[in-house]
A and B are shown apart, each in its own frame.
Chain A
Amino acid sequence: MKLLVPVKRVVDYNVKIRVNPDGSGVETSNVKMSMNPFDEIALEEAVRMKEKGVASEIVAVSIGTQQAKETLRTALALGADRAILVDATSDPKQDIEPLSVAKILAKIVAEEKPDLVIAGKQAIDNDMNATGQMLAGLLGWGQATFASAIEISGGSATVTREIDGGLQILKVALPAVITTDLRLNEPRYISLPSIMKAKKKPLEEKTLADLGVDLTPRLRIVHTDEPKQRSAGMRVGSVDELIDKLKNEAGVLS
């Protein structure tokens, strides 16, 4: 079974981002970038499938600038066999929407013919939570989003999904798209030897012209602002004081 794992380069989750005061966007130069955490989980799951003998090949793909090669090298070190960079823009500020990302991924799927795509449920920068579902829609494939457990057998995947109210288990015929939630697994640390090995693994580059996808965005970002800030309130010294404040000052308890 062949697996395709889309990985996105995002601002590291530990970085407290700064919004440009002129409303033009978020400051992304000179900040630490990492692989989207949900994509790390997706890769880890793929690697475990390969270790169990369920999968035979893992292809990682990223759509972005040349810098996304770093993310792909990480993917190779984590256990992907090959990587594909779709060099979509030289301008790190250009917007590539999930619909375009999904269309590009659909072209890659047509070439690579994977049996399963495992994507993250959401990228922690744009928080769209859309790409996997859109890809499944474009391909006419089944989808299982927000996965916390995946079991492959007999041409289908049984997936436990984290939904409102609890869990849902469904069976989706392969090929399919699965998106990962936080509880699916805990990604391993990358070892030094695997980083060395990753340098020798193939990383192929494609251009948009190769794929023929129109990236014209449907959304125009008018401006990006800081949200309302909360200021710290007061310290209370005891449970009695807290109860008094909540009842008589804030009026949220009676």
Chain B
Amino acid sequence: MTVLLLAEISQGHLVTDHVARALSAVSALGEVDVLIATDQGGADAAAQAAKLRGVRKVLLCEAPCLAHGLAEPVAALVKSVAEGYSHIVAAAATYGKNILPRVAALLDAMVISDVTAIKDGETFERPVYAGNAVQQVVSSDPLKIFTVRTASFQPAPEGGSAPVELVSAPADPNLSTWVEDRIVVTERPELTSAKRVVSGGRGLGSKENFDAIVRLADKIGAAVGASRAAVDLGYAPNDWQVGQTGKIVAPELYVAVGISGAIQHLAGMKDSKIIVAINKDEDAPILKVADYALVGDLFAIVPELSKKL
């Protein structure tokens, strides 16, 4: 069996952590080739991917239409190199989730989203109903196409030196054009791979108050997360949302502040190693999954915590 791994590219750079985690998820299946689609500067991304242990070769395709990861040209590229592979995989981040279902449709295969465990070459586990049930599915497609949940796998280490091969670009389908990215560049750890996450919810009450969460996170080197309510209310940007329809995280430490613990939120963080809940409501559902619960007013607790850490 040979696996094709579509590498995630963001702002021209390899999202190494996601690629390394997807790689370790599939290495038991066989040899793995990594495909990089970008417009220019792909040599750096390719060199980065080539260093990951377990990569057989890196396929690099550079073409103007591949800039910004638009789904139509990238899917066309994946289809054009798919021959000979038994599995096509990507990390289940917005990049892969946007592209792989389209690839699957082009190749008449059923995509399997958010795989959390790979039993063998055709048997996969994935959560359904906001993680309240786990399905084991067997695929009868000759070519299996799936995305893997990065929080469920450790990143593959460096130490490899795979060769890089150039592949030619598909014709530009010309269906969509990129206008603008509004990406916030941050020094903070990335939410889905951070060892510590501090998240705030509706209880914070305002965008200004939400700064207390950011300060606490910065104090302990954590990524910042949020509930949907906090994002909807404008306290936090959309890509901080943790949950069923946001990001899935599994850090060593997850601190939930002013978050009630709706099933949709729990779906995104209940596999964290240690959960701390800070909430004024004795009956908040988050307390039922917390290892340590501190019941009280977050406006007193959070500043004290920041000060003493």
- Cβ–Cβ contact A236 & B304, under 8 A: no
Q: How far is the CB of A117 from chain B (nearest CB, A)?
A: 14
Q: Which of A150-182 contact B (CB under 8 A)?
A: 158, 161-173, 176, 181-182
- Cβ–Cβ contact B293 & A219, under 8 A: no
Which A residue's beta carbon lies closest to that of B140?
Answer: A218
A140 CB contacts on chain B under 8 angstroms: 173, 175
- Cβ–Cβ contact A166 & B239, under 8 A: yes
Instruction: Give the number of residue pairs across the A-B interface with Cβ within 8 Å.
Output: 267
- Cβ–Cβ contact B292 & A166, under 8 A: no
- Cβ–Cβ contact A183 & B238, under 8 A: yes
The answer to whether the Cβ of B131 comes within 8 Å of any Cβ in the partner chain is: yes
Q: Is the interface of B mostly helix, strand, loop or mixed?
A: mixed
Q: How far is the CB of B218 from chain A (nearest CB, A)?
A: 14
- Cβ–Cβ contact A170 & B137, under 8 A: no
Q: How far is the CA of A242 from the CA of B291 in the complex (A)?
A: 11
B273 CB contacts on chain A under 8 angstroms: 250, 252
Q: How far is the CA of A230 from the CA of B141 in the complex (A)?
A: 35
Q: Contacts A98-B110, A98-B111; is A176 near B175 (CB within 8 Å)?
A: yes
The answer to whether the Cβ of A102 comes within 8 Å of any Cβ in the partner chain is: yes
Q: How far is the CB of A216 from chain B (nearest CB, A)?
A: 9
A74 CB contacts on chain B under 8 angstroms: none
The answer to whether the Cβ of B10 comes within 8 Å of any Cβ in the partner chain is: yes
B304 CB contacts on chain A under 8 angstroms: 239
Which B residue's beta carbon lies closest to that of A218?
Answer: B110
Q: How far is the CB of B24 from chain A (nearest CB, A)?
A: 20
Which B residue's beta carbon lies closest to that of A237?
Answer: B294
Which A residue's beta carbon lies closest to that of B287?
Answer: A232
- Cβ–Cβ contact B309 & A164, under 8 A: no
Q: Residue B184 contacts which of A13, A134, A166, A233 (CB distance < 8 angstroms)?
A: A166
- Cβ–Cβ contact B294 & A143, under 8 A: no
Q: Contacts A127-B244, A168-B180, A235-B295; is A227 near B133 (CB within 8 Å)?
A: yes
Q: How far is the CA of A50 from the CA of B7 in the complex (A)?
A: 40
A142 CB contacts on chain B under 8 angstroms: 72, 173, 175-176
Q: Which of B130, B135, B136, B305 gathers most chain A CB within 10 Å? A: B135
- Cβ–Cβ contact A242 & B292, under 8 A: yes
- Cβ–Cβ contact A239 & B294, under 8 A: yes
Q: How far is the CA of A133 from the CA of B309 in the complex (A)?
A: 46
B182 CB contacts on chain A under 8 angstroms: 166-169
A5 CB contacts on chain B under 8 angstroms: none
Q: Residue B293 contacts which of A138, A181, A236 (CB distance < 8 angstroms)?
A: A236
Question: Residues 243-265 of chain B: 1 if any A CB is under 8 Å from the residue's CB, otherwise 0?
Answer: 01101000011000000000110
- Cβ–Cβ contact B113 & A129, under 8 A: yes
Q: Contacts A226-B133, A242-B305; is A126 near B101 (CB within 8 Å)?
A: no
Q: How far is the CB of B308 from chain A (nearest CB, A)?
A: 6
Q: How far is the CA of A223 from the CA of B263 in the complex (A)?
A: 22
Q: How far is the CA of A212 from the CA of B78 in the complex (A)?
A: 29
Q: Residue B133 contacts which of A161, A222, A225 (CB distance < 8 angstroms)?
A: A225
A128 CB contacts on chain B under 8 angstroms: 101, 111, 113
Q: Which of A115-142 contact B (CB under 8 A)?
A: 121-122, 124-138, 140-142
Q: How far is the CA of A181 from the CA of B246 in the complex (A)?
A: 10
A-B contact pairs, 26 of them (CB 8 A): A38-B245, A124-B130, A131-B101, A133-B102, A133-B105, A135-B105, A137-B101, A161-B94, A164-B239, A168-B180, A168-B182, A170-B178, A171-B179, A173-B175, A176-B175, A182-B231, A182-B232, A182-B245, A218-B110, A221-B136, A222-B138, A233-B290, A233-B293, A234-B291, A234-B293, A235-B293
Interface residues of B (CB under 8 A from A): 10-11, 68, 70-72, 75, 93-95, 97-106, 108-114, 123, 127-141, 173-184, 196, 220, 228, 231-232, 237-239, 241, 244-245, 247, 252-253, 263-264, 270, 273-276, 287-295, 301, 304-305, 308-309
Interface residues of A (CB under 8 A from B): 11, 13, 16-17, 19, 26, 38, 97-99, 102, 121-122, 124-138, 140-146, 148, 158, 161-173, 176, 181-183, 217-227, 230, 232-240, 242-243, 245-246, 250, 252-253
